[in-house]
């Protein structure tokens, strides 16, 4: 069940970025949450703040003529009954099929009780690709670049 929930979450997350679908991406996060890059740490408390952050990412992707992404080295490990750590490597491609961004990301996921239990991102942290990690259990996702 956890594996399927992780795959659903990250397939939706990826689809949201591919479609520039603000609501789909925002729905993958729990509020409050934190977003960390090598340059910035953001503590996000409101949906409006999260939407602003995601729209900023969409603008960057659009400026780079983003067309597809591959997700690799995807793995997770359950830390507690409610908290899971996931890791994956992202590679973004432009319209000339050139990589314009590559990084490793770590996600703390929390199980949220809504209509049924759902996983949501409470912390996303991106790092140089050299920091990529293999956690205890691998998982796979569909890749838009391979389609």
Q: Would you list the domain boundaries of the chain?
A: 2-146
2-146 classified as CATH 3.10.450.50 = yes
pLDDT value for 114: 60
pLDDT value for 56: 94
CA distances from 129 to 33, 35, 57, 83 (A): 23, 17, 19, 24
Identify which of 4, 118, 125, 135 has the alpha carbon closest to the alpha carbon of residue 74. 135
How much is the average pLDDT of 37-63?
Answer: 94
Prediction pTM value = 0.90
88 within 8 A of 10, measured Cβ to Cβ: yes
Each residue's pLDDT tens digit, 90-142:
999 999 999 999 999 999 999 876 656 689 999 999 999 999 999 999 988 87
pLDDT value for 147: 44
Is residue 58 scored above 80 in pLDDT?
Answer: yes
């Amino acid at each position: 069940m956890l594996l399927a929930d992780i795959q659903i979450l990250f397939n939706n997350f990826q689809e949201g970025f591919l479609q520039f679908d603000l609501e789909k991406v925002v729905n993958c996060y729990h509020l409050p949450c934190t977003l960390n890059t090598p340059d910035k740490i953001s503590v996000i408390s409101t949906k409006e703040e999260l939407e602003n952050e995601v729209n900023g990412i969409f603008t960057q992707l659009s400026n780079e003529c983003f067309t597809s992404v591959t997700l690799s080295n995807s793995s997770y490990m359950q830390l507690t009954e409610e908290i899971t750590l996931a890791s994956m490597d992202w590679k973004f491609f432009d319209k000339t099929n050139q990589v314009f961004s590559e990084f490793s990301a770590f996600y703390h996921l929390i199980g949220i009780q809504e209509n049924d239990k759902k996983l949501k991102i409470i912390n996303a942290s991106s790092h140089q690709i050299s920091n990529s990690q293999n956690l205890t259990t691998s998982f796979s996702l569909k890749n838009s670049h391979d389609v």
